[in-house]
Structure 1
Amino acid sequence: MKENILGVDVCDQTYDQLASHLLSDIENKRKSFIVAINPEKIMKAQEDESLRNLLNAATYQIPDGVGVLIASKLKKGNIKERVTGIDMMMKLCEQAHLHEKKVFLYGAKPGIADEAKAKLEEMYPGIHIVGTLNGYEKDEKVIEETINGSGAEIIFVALGSPTQENWIINHKEKLAPYVYQGVGGSFDVISGRLNRAPAFFQRLGLEWFYRLIKEPWRFKRQLILPKFLIKVLKG
């Protein structure tokens, strides 16, 4: 099921439920597209109809952001837990490993996807990561042939938002994979190039606060959260 928060759809499923749906999509050869939803994107979508349409075009809109969880509770909705982009990616990698599904990593700077591949292979020995391609490759023919030639069933796209979502919408019908997820900077985190917030902050949904401590210049961006919640209450 989905809830609509200020015009943007958000799924209320858990990691396990989503993983089950996505495996079913692969088995039934259905194309599906996962996008992460947070208050910043929802607020931008208020003034950008094309962004709102893009977000709502996804098959699964995951509640990546504690503000989305709070908004659902304020509206007596059914979203019980955050589903972060990177953790959804890791869940899918775990399932790909268990069910022998083939994975492709596309995006980020040269070398990063290869480093992320090596780390994932350490974490899930035997996982079938059948190809990588950096986000600086611009030749459409090379991109399509590399991805299609790999036989991948799941592809993670790390081009930054909304570039990666637009890329998925424009390419998924021409490409072989069934499951598409835009993952932002996740390859950088998995490769070890970027540090994620400690587990304590993750459990409390306070990754945003950890980033604010580390990067005080983010303060203005964090002001979106109270504005978002006020708008939700008024709506």
Structure 2
Amino acid sequence: MVKRDETDKVDVLSVHFNNVTMDDMVTNVKQFFEDGQQETLFIVTANPEIVDYATTNTFYRTLINSANYTVADGTGVVKASKILRTPLKARVPGIELMESCLKIAHSNHQRVYLLGAKEAVVVKAQEQLKQQYPNIIFDHHHGYIDLQDAHIAQEIKDFKPDYIFVGMGYPKQEMWIEQHRHNFEHTVMMGVGGSLEVFSGVKKRAPKFIRTINLEWVYRLIIDWKRLGRMQSIPRFLWKVMKQMRHKH
């Protein structure tokens, strides 16, 4: 069985983050395939919104803490770790980790399954990615499915994927992975949120200079006002971090 990496953990509101950089994670994924392990490799990319949700949902918190790797997808998580005086080395954006995995898959002529988004969006994402990574064999299914649907899981299993990227939003994407991961062998499984929309061209990522100054979340809010309600989790997250810091001293 692939062991969860318990070294160098950082606790942010009882979510246990691996203190890793993007380079570390690329090495970990490459090592996973080189080792020829039969188990799956479950990666969670958690932002402040996910951590805030996990503080109120014990089942979900236990689930993401059982993943092989939980990485900080969000400037807020990295800043929180510094406030708590257990600083994480770096942010590891989920979409960039997915891109790194796709580069590995391209080099290794591997198989990638995209699960999530609307049918038209996931089809477009697959088309765009196929152009960029012609050595990868892709397949897909939209994300409007029942978590218990064994038929879809069997369909994906028959494809024999090396990677399954699940873009159904939290908590559904992680719950789907947890529910079905035992059906797969030697597969990287990762929740990727809205990444399929970005790869399809439906949504755009913030320009690089905005990402560099850690204001990507502001850009997302400006181009998508529907996120405003979700942003309420940010002050809640910060308030809880301040409480955790006080309890530590």
Map 1:171-186 to 2 at 5 A.
171-176=180-185, 178-186=187-195
Three-state SS of the structure 2 residue aligned to 1:132 is strand
Q: Which residue of 1 aligns with 2:4?
A: none
C-alpha spacing 1:149/1:74, structure 2 compared with 1 (3 Å):
same
1:128 to 114, 137, 146: 137
Q: Which residue of 1 aligns with 2:26?
A: 19
Map 1:10-159 to 2 at 5 A.
10-26=17-33, 27-129=36-138, 131-136=139-144, 140-159=149-168
Three-state SS of the structure 1 residue aligned to 2:182 is coil
Map 1:159-178 to 2 at 5 A.
159-176=168-185, 178=187
Q: Which residue of 2 aligns with 1:189?
A: 198
Deviates more, 1:216-225 or 1:197-206: 216-225
Q: Provide Cα deviations, 1:108-137, integer angstroms capped at 9, x if missing partner.
A: 1113222111211222232232x2122235
- TM-score between both structures, scaled by the size of structure 2: 0.85
For 1:219 and 1:112, locate their aligned partners in 2 and report how far apart those are by CA, in whole Å: 23
For 1:184 and 1:85, locate their aligned partners in 2 and report how far apart those are by CA, in whole Å: 8
For 1:164 and 1:177, locate their aligned partners in 2 and report how far apart those are by CA, in whole Å: 19
For 1:175 and 1:22, locate their aligned partners in 2 and report how far apart those are by CA, in whole Å: 16
For 1:98 and 1:83, locate their aligned partners in 2 and report how far apart those are by CA, in whole Å: 22
Name the aligned partner's letter for residue 79 of structure 1. L
C-alpha spacing 1:118/1:46, structure 2 compared with 1 (3 Å):
same
Q: How far is 1:216 from its partner?
A: 4.5
- TM-score between both structures, scaled by the size of structure 1: 0.90
For 2:127 and 2:89, locate their aligned partners in 1 and report how far apart those are by CA, in whole Å: 33
Name the aligned partner's letter for residue 135 of structure 1. G
Structure 1 unaligned segments of length 5 or more: list them. Answer: none
Three-state SS of the structure 1 residue aligned to 2:202 is coil
Cα RMSD for the two superposed structures: 2.1
Q: Which residue of 2 aligns with 1:231?
A: 240
Q: Which residue of 1 aligns with 2:10?
A: 3
**Is the 8 Å Cα contact of residues 158 and 182 (structure 1) preserved in structure 2?**
yes
For 1:206 and 1:6, locate their aligned partners in 2 and report how far apart those are by CA, in whole Å: 23
State how many pairs are aligned: 234
For 1:228 and 1:132, locate their aligned partners in 2 and report how far apart those are by CA, in whole Å: 34
Structure 2 unaligned segments of length 5 or more: list them. Answer: 1-7, 245-249
Q: Provide Cα deviations, 1:144-200, integer angstroms capped at 9, x if missing partner.
A: 332122121111111221111111001010134521011122111101011222222
Q: Once the two structures are aligned, what percentage of the paired residues are identical?
A: 36
For 1:185 and 1:218, locate their aligned partners in 2 and report how far apart those are by CA, in whole Å: 12
